[in-house]
A = this chain, B = another copy of it.
Amino acid sequence: MKESYLIPAEKLRTFGEEVFQKAGVPKEDAKTVAEILVEANLRGVDTHGIYLANLYVRRLQKGLINPTPRFRFKQKRAGVGILDADFSLGQLSTLEAARKAVEMAQDAGIGIVAVKNSNHFGAAAYYAEYCARRDCMGLVMSDGECDVIPFGGREKFLGTNPLCCCIPAGTYPWFCMDMATSEVAFGKIRAAAEAGKAIPPNWAVDRNGKPVTDPTRAYAAVPMSGVKGYAVSLIIEILSSRLTGMPYGAHIVRKFDDWENRAFMGHYVQAIDIAAFCPVDEFKKRMDELFADLKNQPRAPGVEEILIPGEPEWRTKSRREEEGCPIGEEDVNLLRQLGEEFGVPFSV
């Protein structure tokens, strides 16, 4: 077990805000991006947390991300629009897309924004939650550089293509699903390899497309439930790339490896206004009824509690707001070095 440090969220946010500003991002935008990254740490989704500041700043330095984009939003119909992100940080464009989606939903009942010319947006939940806070159901998708084979294939083709949905509730925490559409994210396979543990045969394949249980031989991830995840993942590719002519997974720049080319990321953001269907309070009661029923279901052996999607992250957030966010030594060093370069001290 590597050492990790518990760092208050506020400290991480301030650090992020300052380094992004040093990299040319305006203050308010820098603050927003830092907040979204640290929100992932708070929710326990550390793979999408503050350590990404290093990646983003490097790509800003190279001119591959635009620090001062001019968004061009074109509303095409009452419920549909396209946002040209002008190569902004994906956090900024996706949040703007969520704003527009909610605005359209408040008018037409439903609002969809297809985002083009964007970048990695971090964890999807933030934007879906933005919608839920405004009494809308939020749905957020993105394609991404490929790590996943198509069903029947052996070469990486699909992104891990996140699918995120957040739905408001009453006294229970809201419903929030934010998942990769591969059987598991590649990070889990890497973790098993580091721990010297075998993986189930439906997680990954080797170079020849054969299922592996030895994670060190894993080459590509497998769609969840095989053909089902393959189809769901393709829908996400299509909604994220084919409506706007963006490249899809197999042709997306690898953000950690390609330092020559801009990424052309596409996202899909949708908001449904609950009030268009029924009074919001009534809907929330119906959600609570469903959740209470779930909570009272008999449990499988060894299970302490049936959880509502989003509940584990909700709890982690409450805890980490008190305790701080655990940041591993490697990431601490990464951020410290980044800070030194820009005259922004990163202390633990």
Where the two chains meet, the residues of A that have a C-beta atom closer than 8 Å to any C-beta of B are 76-80, 82, 107-110, 112, 114, 149-155, 157, 163, 165, 167, 175, 177, 179, 181, 183, 202, 205, 208-210, 224-225, 227-232, 234-235, 237-238, 241-245, 248, 250, 272-274, 276-278, 282-283, 286-287, 290, 293-294, 297-301, 303, 305-307, 309
Q: 10 pairs across A/B with beta carbons < 8 Å?
A: A77-B273, A80-B109, A108-B110, A150-B297, A152-B306, A153-B300, A153-B306, A167-B235, A210-B301, A243-B278
Q: Is the CB of A76 within 8 A of B157?
A: no
Name the residue on B nearest A242 (C-beta).
Answer: B286
Interface of A is mostly: mixed
The CA-CA distance from A273 to B243 in the complex, in Å, is 10
Contacts of A77 in B (CB 8 A): 107-110, 273, 276
Q: What is the CB-to-nearest-CB distance from A210 to chain B, in angstroms, rounded to a whole number?
A: 6
Name the residue on B nearest A293 (C-beta).
Answer: B250
Q: What is the CB-to-nearest-CB distance from A262 to chain B, in angstroms, rounded to a whole number?
A: 20
Q: What is the CB-to-nearest-CB distance from A276 to chain B, in angstroms, rounded to a whole number?
A: 4
Copies held by the complex: 2
Q: Is the CB of B287 within 8 A of A154?
A: no
Q: Is the CB of A278 within 8 A of B78?
A: no
Q: Is the CB of A306 within 8 A of B238?
A: no
Find A238's partner among B153, B167, B181, B228 (CB 8 Å cutoff).
Answer: B167
Contacts of A112 in B (CB 8 A): 109-110, 272
Q: What is the CB-to-nearest-CB distance from A191 to chain B, in angstroms, rounded to a whole number?
A: 17
Q: What is the CB-to-nearest-CB distance from A105 to chain B, in angstroms, rounded to a whole number?
A: 8
Q: Is the CB of B80 within 8 A of A276?
A: yes
Find A79's partner among B78, B209, B235 (CB 8 Å cutoff).
Answer: B78
Find A231's partner among B177, B298, B299 (CB 8 Å cutoff).
Answer: B177
- 8 closest pairs, A vs B, by CB? A80-B109, A77-B109, A209-B300, A177-B231, A79-B79, A224-B225, A231-B309, A78-B108
Find A230's partner among B109, B167, B276, B309 (CB 8 Å cutoff).
Answer: B309
Q: What is the CB-to-nearest-CB distance from A235 to chain B, in angstroms, rounded to a whole number?
A: 5
Contacts of A225 in B (CB 8 A): 183, 224-225, 229
Given contacts A80-B110, A244-B278, A278-B243, contact A300 B149 (CB under 8 A): yes
Q: Is the CB of B224 within 8 A of A287?
A: no
The CA-CA distance from A348 to B309 in the complex, in Å, is 50
Contacts of A278 in B (CB 8 A): 243-245
Q: What is the CB-to-nearest-CB distance from A103 to chain B, in angstroms, rounded to a whole number?
A: 13
The CA-CA distance from A68 to B241 in the complex, in Å, is 44
Q: Is the CB of B175 within 8 A of A238?
A: yes
Q: What is the CB-to-nearest-CB distance from A59 to chain B, in angstroms, rounded to a whole number?
A: 26
Name the residue on B nearest A76 (C-beta).
Answer: B276
The CA-CA distance from A110 to B243 in the complex, in Å, is 13
Contacts of A209 in B (CB 8 A): 298-301, 303
